[in-house]
Structure 1
Amino acid sequence: MAEMAARRALADDDNASWTVGSETELADLALESVVVFDLVGNIRYWNPASERLYGWPAIGSVGRSIAEISSNAELYVRQWHALLREGTWSGLLERRTSWGGKVTAAVRQTVRCDADGRPRDIVEYGQSADKERNLSSLPEVNLHRQAAASWELDTSHIRPLLDKMGDLISRDLVAEVARRPDWTDEILKGTCIVNVNDRAAHLVGAHAGRDGMIGQSVGAFWPRVGRSVLAELIAVVATDRSATTNRKVAPDGILRDAVVTVWRSETLQCRDTVFVAVSGATDDDRSFWYLRANEERYRKLIHRLPTALLQVDSGRMGKVLEELKAEGVKDLDRYLDDHPELITFANEVVRVVDANQKAVALFNGTVPADFIRPVGFLYAAAPETTRRLLVARYEGRRSYSEIMKIRTFDGQTLDVRLSVTFPASPERLDVTLIGLEDITERLRTERRLRQLETDFTHAARISILGELATSIAHEVNQPLSAIVTNGETSLRWLSRDDPNLVKVGELTTRVVSSARRASDIVKRIRGMAAKQEPERLPLDLNEVVDEALVFVRHDIEARSIHLSVRLAADLPTVLGDRIQLQQVIVNLLVNSIQAIEQGSGSLRRIDLSTSSEDGDTVVFSIHDSGCGIAAGDLDRIFDCFFTTKDGGVGIGLAVCQSIVMAHGGSIRVSNHPDGGAQFQFSLPTQSASIFESFPEQTPE
């Protein structure tokens, strides 16, 4: 690489007097071929018209001897001596083309001298002398339509493999080479791009541009079609089999009737440097400049959008997925279980080709070029995202979105919403857009809000427990009294001269049962009082109702309120937090008790029921015989701090609504036709629930 860089720098220095300024600009626009040589015939300048005339790109021509492409070495020597002797020469010259044909050119050559009269360089002007002959030498394609896409490549990193392949090729064992397709990937991955021209960058570099391609492997940009052809031609040329070789390749969706030419410059004497030219007509009938202008407008639009956007070249991966479909793979998710290497492959071959300024700022980068690389870095903090994206695209979805984590270039971890728009036929297969929205602060705020809600809910539970202190004490005292009574009776039986051990055993069993009951009551009280994160588990709502009644049953009985409980059999399970749902039911029961106490009616009744609707929803209903709710208050009853009670705080029903909604349900209130208020809340069953877990509680 250092040798090649030095060679290019030397060529630039030698040609500085010609390639700087308006002369170069004018020569680039000339319709005639303009070539500048040094005095020994090495090319110092090669304009676009020369590329079209001879097929050799400037990348592979500058620094090369014109003798390499002269079809008649003896004629070339005589002509060159005549030029140096006379100072000018004009006539017909026959030169080899990059596609293996010959071109007859009418040229005019002039020796230029410096201020002291000493020869400095030679300038040549040329044009086709026989267009029909030139066109007939082409392999069924008009290569004069546009210049070739050209590459300069370094193969030094794969020299041992090339030598091995060269040995097989020299012994005409090409079949052995063909049986090793892994060599193709190894060659293309190990061959480094030293330089490309604008046409190559436009055709296959997407928005990476020349700067984004240089230094990368040629395999990262070369189309899937023709990869084996390129690898074989590189091996042939780089192992001294031939200085120049070419091959026609099948259409790849970019060029049709394309010809790949690979050569090694004999003048450079560097066997690790090879040049590639790809000639052909674009598949799109619109002009190169029209497409380029449209893409430039599109790129400017992307860069000005206020959302972080990455453009991704997913062409190679798209074709792999199409091949899997053709092979009959139906379930890609299951296929990836057996072939996890496909995920790694996707992270390597799918490349980011452009990023807008918002994306640069999001990742704390410097320039968009920081992103021009395989897409794997994007999913480093969320490796499972790649799998889900592959499955989404395979299933034919047009877009996909999820919340994931990214790691910025300076090591920070951010929460972002990823939004991907996949390509769809008949659009280009390589255009995939990735949008990234930074939601780190929003999630942090939501976590703090959930923490406040948790604290708020906990405070409401403590408040309820305070109101139910008498009832709770009664519930605990009942099993404790039973324990004392049974324990004392057991002692009396044991103190007799003839202890009745059978009776003592029965009493001891009752003591144990009462102790367990007291323990269960204490556990429920502690659970209600404890401050803990919500936990979603499959629950039987009927069991939750029974547990909630433990807290209020004594208050109901003490106030001579008739309690009717009708719990539906075979109730579907719900996904929820046991303590929070108990809190909702207890709160509604306490409200009903207080409404009955405030009323003046003789009927004192609370009706509880559970039911199922369509198998997808479970409903809890409570109806009391109180005075009901004023019509003007029905719409405000769940508002925070709204209360109709003397000394009330107004947080109980607001908390109930918050808990029910967090479970994916709804709560409503109405005045019952028979008098009093009726509250109902509904929850989705476990099978119908879309809330499989509470939002992640990430520590600050």
Structure 2
Amino acid sequence: MTDMAWRRGCVDNIDLSANTEANELADLASDSVIVFDLTGNIRYWNPASETLYGWPAIGAVGRSIGDMSANTAVHITQWQSLMQEGAWEGHVDRRTLWGGRITASVRQTVRCSADGRPRDVVEYGRCAGKEPPLSSALDIDVHRLATASWEFDISGVRPLIEQIADLFSRGAMAELAQQPDWTDELLEGARIVDVNERAAHLVGAHVGRAGMIGQSASAFWPRVGRDVLAELIVAVATDHSRGIPRMRKLACDGVLRDPVVTAWRSEEGGRPDIVFVAVNGATDDDRSFWYLRASEERYRKLIHHLPTALLQVDASRMAPVFEKLKNTGVSDLNAYLDQHPELVEFMKNVVRITEANQRAVALFGGTAPADFITPVAFLFEASPQTPRRIMLARFEGKRNYTEIMKVRTFDGRLLDVQLSVTFPAPPERLDVTLFSLEDITERLRTERQLRQVETDFTHAARVSMLGEFATSIAHEINQPLSAIVTNGETSLRWLSRDNPNRAKVEQLTTRIVSSARHASDIVQRIRGMAAKHEPARVSLDLNDVIEEALLFVRHDIEAKSIHLSVRLASNLPVILADRVQLQQVIVNLLVNSIQAIAQGCRPVRKIDLATRVDGEGAVVFSIHDSGPGIPDENLDNIFDSFFTTKETGMGIGLAVCQSIILAHGGSIGASNCSDGGAQFRFSLPVPPKAD
């Protein structure tokens, strides 16, 4: 069995707690199994350990493993690394009972309790033979033996490697400079065959070891040191003495402190395109590995059980793309994407979902989080423009982006979701982006139904109002009809003369046409008020809307001998509103004023209408009547639905007015004036001017 196979086949699942059954299982193991407390004192020593080191269990248990070390300083450094990293494997030199030395290949793991606190250390070991320790072979200290190991297949980039090696050998730096992207191309083509757990933890924790295998080296190797890795791969891939390792120091990448990368090819034949890489160094964090691991586990559990659908996304492949665009002077990504739409497709296929919680699985009708471990392209099939907007937000350095989009679930349903994207920011891990998805399908459906009810409610109020003004409407229509009749009869008399006055008849006919058009306009306005339609907001002059609204009430005002004062501000800014709805608001307010004056007993009967622009630039309409005013106890309730002080009132007029004004982004209020009567006013915002 090879050394790697042995490490994978150790009795990892034996729980060496202080119980007889577990100890008996470890007693039967053919490999050394030792349990230490956190200070290094031996708590368990199986028979295989007795055979390997010569110390009987009775003489070993209770001793410090440091006392058995052939090099105390090296042991202390190794133990510190173990306590920080949570795991360590490599070669150790220990003294035997008979005074000799033995080199053992061991793997040590810090075990934690349920609350994440370290509990003890388990060591599995076997004789490493007479070869010198790995620390001597590579001339590196034992502190760095907690190695992140990689195995790469470079067969796909062998031609590129040969080409670069030739340029290096000839010193053709000018030619090499013409291929500035060769490093990225090489690492993109180098495929990960295998990694150990430490490598997966350091750079692939979001997908795990299994998710890294088969991917390109560039997908996981940090941006720092990519050129070093590429140069080492070229060096060992073209070196005929395969077994000799090549070593280079790396700049600190925020993951490891003082890292050293070592590359070599297998000494075994038949695998010329396999390159092994080891990265040695302590975690660049003051917290120990077991602490970080426990923290990550708590984080995963929290995310996994949150009631909001969450997707963890690896967008690291886009960081160098954006960086390159900015370095080449691209500042307007939107314009750039107009010319290069293929970049959006690239993003959808290289940005990958790496983790999904339970709520996301349920939302999409999946069976397991593994269903999501794919590129993000499927998320945007029903909302193809969303990826572009996400890219713009990321390029502009925003921390969050939110929009409502549609998604197609795995079982074919089409959902409306609120998408929230949280981008990472330095010094956070740049490969972790969070997508939050909230299903708002039912909420939007309810809102649409509510808007429909409000529309029906408003329409009913308009129809009811028109019924109240049947007399006024008839009077307004009768005016042009009467003029038509009068002018028509006069035309007939002129035509019946022996010498018809053609000029006079033409004048009268023109008046008939004008009156007919006037009557038609009145009918159209009434039909518009009565018709059931979806609100359509257009640019309007509020003064024009007021003039049209007066059409419906002018006759009642005159019939009740009410003086109407209209003061409309000139050059009023246009507003964005629905004409018919604003007419309805103004007519309702006029009706209230007319009815209030009719119920009062004041000698002065007047209504003042006015428009102006307030200090905030909004357009304001106000109406002041000479009625008895609003009782103080009713001021806070007059806009409530079905609140009325009229015996025959329904209490919907002012409620409808308020809903319309609020829907337009404005405000409406009422008050009593010091000189008597009530005043109503509403304000509407002025839309910003287009650039």
SS of residue paired to 1:445 = helix
SS of residue paired to 2:636 = helix
Other-structure match for 1:307: 308
For normalisation by structure 2, the TM-score amounts to: 0.75
Give the conservation status (yes or no) of the 8 Å contact 2:355–2:372. Answer: yes
- Single out whichever of 183-192 and 606-615 deviates more from structure 2: 183-192
Other-structure match for 2:609: 608
Q: Which amino acid aligns with 1:286?
A: R
SS of residue paired to 2:405 = strand
State yes or no: 1:221 paired with 2:217.
Answer: no
1:166 to 148, 162, 167: 162
Query: Shift of residue 195 of structure 1?
Result: 2.7
Query: Shift of residue 168 of structure 1?
Result: 6.2
Q: Which amino acid aligns with 1:432?
A: T
State yes or no: 1:504 paired with 2:505.
Answer: yes
Q: Which amino acid aligns with 1:406?
A: V
Query: Shift of residue 232 of structure 1?
Result: 5.6
1:315-343 Cα distance to aligned partner (Å, 9 max, x none): 45446556666677655555555555554
Other-structure match for 1:116: none
1:453-503 Cα distance to aligned partner (Å, 9 max, x none): 111111111111111122122222222332333334334444444443333
SS of residue paired to 1:312 = strand
Q: 1:484 to 1:192 in 2, by over 3 A?
A: farther
Other-structure match for 1:539: 540
In 2: Cα distance, 1:487 partner to 1:241 partner: 114
- Single out whichever of 230-239 and 188-197 deviates more from structure 2: 230-239
State yes or no: 1:179 paired with 2:178.
Answer: yes
How do residues 26-105 of structure 1 correspond to structure 2 at under 5 angstroms? 26=32
1:70-121 Cα distance to aligned partner (Å, 9 max, x none): xxxxxxxxxxxxxxxxxxxxxx9xxxxxxxxxxxx97689xxxxxxxxxxxx
Other-structure match for 1:641: 642
SS of residue paired to 1:636 = coil
Query: Shift of residue 233 of structure 1?
Result: 5.1
Q: 1:602 to 1:189 in 2, by over 3 A?
A: same
Query: Shift of residue 361 of structure 1?
Result: 1.7
Q: 1:178 to 1:369 in 2, by over 3 A?
A: farther
Q: 1:496 to 1:190 in 2, by over 3 A?
A: farther
1:14-48 Cα distance to aligned partner (Å, 9 max, x none): x98999985488569999xx9xxxxxxxxxxxxxx
Query: Shift of residue 542 of structure 1?
Result: 0.9
In 2: Cα distance, 1:530 partner to 1:143 partner: 86
Q: 1:557 to 1:261 in 2, by over 3 A?
A: same
- Structure 2 residue runs of 5 or longer lacking an equivalent are 15-25, 41-48, 50-74, 79-99, 106-125
In 2: Cα distance, 1:387 partner to 1:263 partner: 43
How do residues 474-489 of structure 1 correspond to structure 2 at under 5 angstroms? 474-489=475-490
In 1: Cα distance, 2:253 partner to 2:556 partner: 82
State yes or no: 1:125 paired with 2:121.
Answer: no
In 2: Cα distance, 1:380 partner to 1:182 partner: 32
SS of residue paired to 2:640 = coil
Q: Which amino acid aligns with 2:626?
A: S
Q: 1:566 to 1:131 in 2, by over 3 A?
A: same
State yes or no: 1:280 paired with 2:276.
Answer: no
1:121-158 Cα distance to aligned partner (Å, 9 max, x none): xx7425885798557x34xxx464343222334456x3
Name the % identity: 64
In 2: Cα distance, 1:448 partner to 1:230 partner: 60
Query: Shift of residue 612 of structure 1?
Result: 0.7
Give the conservation status (yes or no) of the 8 Å contact 1:671–1:678. Answer: yes
Give the conservation status (yes or no) of the 8 Å contact 1:236–1:242. Answer: no
Other-structure match for 1:406: 407
State yes or no: 1:525 paired with 2:521.
Answer: no
SS of residue paired to 1:547 = helix
In 1: Cα distance, 2:513 partner to 2:235 partner: 91
In 2: Cα distance, 1:330 partner to 1:258 partner: 36
Query: Shift of residue 589 of structure 1?
Result: 1.1
Other-structure match for 1:584: 585
How do residues 387-406 of structure 1 correspond to structure 2 at under 5 angstroms? 387-406=388-407
Q: Which amino acid aligns with 1:521?
A: I
For normalisation by structure 1, the TM-score amounts to: 0.74
In 2: Cα distance, 1:230 partner to 1:449 partner: 61
Q: 1:661 to 1:24 in 2, by over 3 A?
A: farther
Give the conservation status (yes or no) of the 8 Å contact 1:239–1:271. Answer: no
In 2: Cα distance, 1:194 partner to 1:309 partner: 30
Query: Shift of residue 382 of structure 1?
Result: 3.1
Other-structure match for 1:200: 199
Q: Which amino acid aligns with 2:569?
A: A
Give the conservation status (yes or no) of the 8 Å contact 1:206–1:353. Answer: no
In 1: Cα distance, 2:634 partner to 2:220 partner: 69
1:210-241 Cα distance to aligned partner (Å, 9 max, x none): 23223433332222234455456556666786
Give the conservation status (yes or no) of the 8 Å contact 1:309–1:436. Answer: yes
Give the conservation status (yes or no) of the 8 Å contact 1:143–1:280. Answer: no
Other-structure match for 1:679: 680
In 1: Cα distance, 2:317 partner to 2:494 partner: 89
In 2: Cα distance, 1:276 partner to 1:130 partner: 18
- Single out whichever of 438-447 and 424-433 deviates more from structure 2: 424-433
SS of residue paired to 2:641 = coil
Q: Which amino acid aligns with 1:195?
A: D
SS of residue paired to 2:192 = strand
Q: 1:303 to 1:404 in 2, by over 3 A?
A: same
Q: 1:16 to 1:427 in 2, by over 3 A?
A: closer
How do residues 214-613 of structure 1 correspond to structure 2 at under 5 angstroms? 214-231=213-230, 234=233, 243=242, 247-265=248-266, 267=268, 269-271=270-272, 273-318=274-319, 321=322, 332-333=333-334, 336-337=337-338, 340-613=341-614
Other-structure match for 1:618: 619
Q: How many residues align?
A: 595
SS of residue paired to 1:145 = helix
- Single out whichever of 550-559 and 174-183 deviates more from structure 2: 174-183
Query: Shift of residue 436 of structure 1?
Result: 2.3
SS of residue paired to 1:635 = coil
Query: Shift of residue 604 of structure 1?
Result: 2.0
SS of residue paired to 2:443 = helix
1:549-589 Cα distance to aligned partner (Å, 9 max, x none): 11211222222221111111111222211111111111111
Q: 1:218 to 1:526 in 2, by over 3 A?
A: farther
Other-structure match for 2:150: 151
Give the conservation status (yes or no) of the 8 Å contact 2:164–2:234. Answer: no
Query: Shift of residue 635 of structure 1?
Result: 1.5
